[in-house]
Amino acid sequence: MQLQKTIKKENLRKVVFLDRDGVINRDSPDYIKSWSEFEFLPGSLEAIRLLTLNEFAVIVITNQSVINRKMVSGKGLDDLHTLIKKAVTSNGGQIKDIFYCPHVPEDRCSCRKPNPGLIFKAKEKYRIHIATSVMVGDSAKDIECARNAGCGHAVLVKTGNGEEAEKILKEKSIFPDFIARDLLEAVGWILAHNNYDLS
């Protein structure tokens, strides 16, 4: 009788979910379709490095309708994400994984933010403790996604669509736990509130 190997999943309690465009890199109304269009926002590489040094797993959660809009192939987006991860690694940080939704809003899929499907996919893969996780985003959809998924904290950054997001969230009576100028300030807040019981 052949015994099957049991693959033990990771059990992550310290996780920071990051939106991509407008948080890590400059957003564009024309979408980010290639490495030549990708530009890290000031301080974002340092922010991810600090999270990594403090033993947080960084997971990117991003809507990427460029695929279903036929502007980029799945391979093209994967290649871009590989380059992003390499750049982060070369600066002392680590992005553990990137989960993206390829659908347009009209598809009404469960993985497109503000729906929590991408976070749930990450939870299934890594056994993440959602209640101790943090979501950082620049849009109302990001903060709503965090609340819909049950994340412990949600942080809004003012880069990208942050200013507009504040107004939308107030109208919906949804409030982030902290509003930061950028990802680096957001990470400073996260590290100051790192009171996790990891026993």
Catalytic residues: 19, 21
CA atoms lying within 13 Å on the CB side of residue 20? 25
Which residues is 153 bridged to in the sheet?
134
Helix (H) or strand (E) holding 136: strand 134-137
What are the two backbone dihedrals, phi and then psi, of residue 69, each rounded to the nearest 5 degrees?
-85, 0
Q: Which of 6, 17, 29, 2 is nearest to 134 (CA)?
A: 17
Q: Which of 156, 125, 178 is nearest to 15 (CA)?
A: 125
